[in-house]
Structure 1
Amino acid sequence: MTESLVPLPSRLQDPLVNFYEYLRAEKGLSLHTQRNYKQQLETMAFQLVQLGIEDWSSVDAAWVRQLASKGMRDGMKASSLATRLSSLRAFFDFLILRGEIAANPAKGVSAPRKKRPLPKNLDVDEVNQLLEVDEDDPLAVRDRAIMELMYGAGLRLAELVNVDLKDIRTSRGELRVVGKGEKERKVPFAGQAVIWVEKWLRVRGQLSDPNESALFVSKLGGRISHRSVQKRMAEWGQKQAVSSHISPHKLRHSFATHMLESSQNLRAVQELLGHENISTTQIYTHLDFQHLAEVYDQAHPRARKKGRKE
């Protein structure tokens, strides 16, 4: 980098040299770690010079936020930016230890959270392929009922496992679930989900303990566990030759995506999923741009309508 050929002002450089010696002699950090600290700190020091700062005591939280913003504009990953800010916090802690500054200006500045990638949803054909379970032994009937209900009602894994017999009304297509924060909601389900839950109820007694209240039970007779549901879904994905890994969350995500694509009703999908904030629903679901563009063209009063000449 050309900027590294220009010497730093001594009021920036000298404390850094002292810090590197501290890392080596007192902290005993590896050479690799020392080099990482040096690279991150000197990059920020040169950026401060460009901003007109030539003394570490002049750096406040606003300047640190500017450094973080520059890193983001330069395309740094959230994890890399977090490492950079961590180096700066450690350096300022050293200056406090030496009595050169009174407070750490980087303490309250954090990197943006690393975004967790959403699981790729199944398309409708893949869902149909997964759910074509035609075996009639009680475990297979139970597993199809579980998958049909999860996809049919968009349930969380914990919500499904905790459903009791008293919570479900197949005749009305209604299900009572207790979601996050112990919040209760009523969700509809219909079609294949109703058919397969009723099939399961007819054979449930072959597996269930006499006094078990859970809707879905294991082969040992008690309430099915989270791990068992995850394991059985993954196995059915392989058995049905679905190309992607199958998990409860992927079925819920697919439900949300397909419902939003078909209805374009974000508020309704929010209620169905049991999200407290609609922003969660917006992140959780996604529409492809072409679909959005078509909705826009059809709905916006000033948009070009289909059939209109260029």
Structure 2
Amino acid sequence: MPDTAALAPPLQAYVQHVASERRLAVRTVAIYTEGLQQLQAMAAQAGHEVLALQPPHIRRFVAALHAQGRHGRSIALWLSCWRGFFRWAAWQGWVERNPVEGIRAPKTAKPLPKALGVDEAVQLAAFVNPDADPWDEARDAAMTELLYSSGLRVSELAQLDVQAGSGLGWLDLQAGLVHVTGKGGKRRSVPVGSAAKQALQRWIEVRGTRFSAHWAEPALFVGTRGARITAQTIWLRLRQRSQQAGLPAAVHPHVLRHSFASHVLQSSGDLRAVQELLGHANIATTQIYTRLDFQHLAQAYDLAHPRARKKSG
């Protein structure tokens, strides 16, 4: 139980209530305690007891927190805590109304997805590790190429089978397509680029060489024991590979998905096509890449345009 000695008795009682009667997790109780400490401090600064606060006070507190640079999610969490306290205080007969009811945290802009530059993506995709086991190298190279070539989610990559069957996804190398089942059970087919096809062909040629003649695992990508590779293993292998390739930051599979989307959009300008390739149900989800594309263009402008460059001296 967090230290509540600095809290006023009504606030202490509420922390005791959520800890013992509602049995919230220790971490959650600590967050509630921090939120109530913040509420008490801001009330004291405004010259009021906590139980005397009204909606205008809460709105001013939210505005002050936002001005201090607090993230919208943090403010929303504290508002939820305050709302719960005043609702409970009303049940106790200590207040007539809940001053936090109807007050929402300011919206925080969604962060831009992290994507590699084209040169970095090509550097990673073309990387060959001369010290790696040839079997591991063939598999990891094929996974990296396919993630960047087709923009698959890591779960979609892991569920691929080597050929059509009863699974959730499969590779059709001859047609140059992967068929996957995405979120919500939505099926889609995505093209496979020529470099990825070559890497996949090399992997398929060596895929079964470590196992017995009776080995019949349908998964396209397998581990050293012959079972379907896990999403966690894909994350670890790609992170290690990106570091070996000399990239400044470790890369995870979703970075390659973002890179795929951003680079296709930069080249084609076709947002609907990118939506279909990514398997987004709503185009609003895909539109975030237009912000990323604009950021790229703005950086190019700042570097290239004579009137955009800052004067030295």
* Aligned residue number for residue 209 of structure 2: 206
In structure 2, C-alpha distance between the alignment counterparts of 1:200 and 1:44, rounded to whole Å: 68
Match of 1:89 among 70, 83, 100: 83
Give, as a single letter, the amino acid of the residue that structure 2 aligns with 1:149: L
The secondary structure found in structure 2 opposite 1:205 is coil
* Aligned residue number for residue 197 of structure 1: 200
* Aligned residue number for residue 304 of structure 2: none
Deviation at 1:89, TM superposition (A): 1.6
Deviation at 1:192, TM superposition (A): 0.2
Q: 2:16 aligned with 1:20, yes or no?
A: no
* Aligned residue number for residue 37 of structure 1: 39
The secondary structure found in structure 2 opposite 1:287 is helix
CA contact (8 A) 1:207 1:217 kept: no
In structure 2, C-alpha distance between the alignment counterparts of 1:193 and 1:44, rounded to whole Å: 63
In structure 2, C-alpha distance between the alignment counterparts of 1:139 and 1:194, rounded to whole Å: 17
Deviation at 1:178, TM superposition (A): 0.5
Q: 2:133 aligned with 1:145, yes or no?
A: no
Q: 2:262 aligned with 1:257, yes or no?
A: yes
Question: Structure 1 length as normaliser, TM-score?
Answer: 0.72
In structure 1, C-alpha distance between the alignment counterparts of 2:195 and 2:269, rounded to whole Å: 23
* Aligned residue number for residue 306 of structure 1: none
CA contact (8 A) 1:37 1:87 kept: no
Equivalenced residues, count: 265
* Worse-matched range after superposition: 163-172 or 97-106: 97-106
Q: 2:103 aligned with 1:129, yes or no?
A: no
In structure 2, C-alpha distance between the alignment counterparts of 1:225 and 1:290, rounded to whole Å: 34
- Structure 2 CA distance for partners of 1:194 and 1:114, relative to 1, 3 Å: same
Cα offsets for 1:23-70 (capped at 9, x unmatched): 35785799x956423123456788xxxxxxxx75x749xx96787567
Q: 2:235 aligned with 1:230, yes or no?
A: yes
In structure 1, C-alpha distance between the alignment counterparts of 2:244 and 2:298, rounded to whole Å: 35
* Aligned residue number for residue 111 of structure 1: 105
CA contact (8 A) 1:207 1:218 kept: no
* Aligned residue number for residue 287 of structure 1: 293
Q: Which runs of 5+ in 2 are unaligned?
A: 1-6, 17-28, 165-169, 301-313
CA contact (8 A) 1:177 1:185 kept: yes
In structure 2, C-alpha distance between the alignment counterparts of 1:223 and 1:207, rounded to whole Å: 14
CA contact (8 A) 1:174 1:186 kept: yes
* Aligned residue number for residue 174 of structure 2: 171
Give, as a single letter, the amino acid of the residue that structure 1 aligns with 2:293: L
Deviation at 1:277, TM superposition (A): 0.6
Q: Percent identity?
A: 36
* Aligned residue number for residue 19 of structure 2: none
* Aligned residue number for residue 120 of structure 1: 114
* Aligned residue number for residue 184 of structure 2: 181
The secondary structure found in structure 1 opposite 2:180 is strand
Give, as a single letter, the amino acid of the residue that structure 1 aligns with 2:128: V
In structure 1, C-alpha distance between the alignment counterparts of 2:106 and 2:228, rounded to whole Å: 40
The RMSD of aligned alpha carbons is 3.5
The secondary structure found in structure 1 opposite 2:293 is coil
Question: Structure 2 length as normaliser, TM-score?
Answer: 0.71
CA contact (8 A) 2:124 2:242 kept: yes
CA contact (8 A) 1:85 1:106 kept: yes
Deviation at 1:105, TM superposition (A): 5.3
In structure 2, C-alpha distance between the alignment counterparts of 1:44 and 1:177, rounded to whole Å: 57
The secondary structure found in structure 2 opposite 1:96 is helix
Cα offsets for 1:67-90 (capped at 9, x unmatched): 756754775421442355245324
Q: 2:222 aligned with 1:217, yes or no?
A: yes
CA contact (8 A) 1:138 1:204 kept: yes
Q: Which runs of 5+ in 1 are unaligned?
A: 1-18, 47-54, 295-310
Structure ID, larger Rg:
1
* Worse-matched range after superposition: 233-242 or 20-29: 20-29
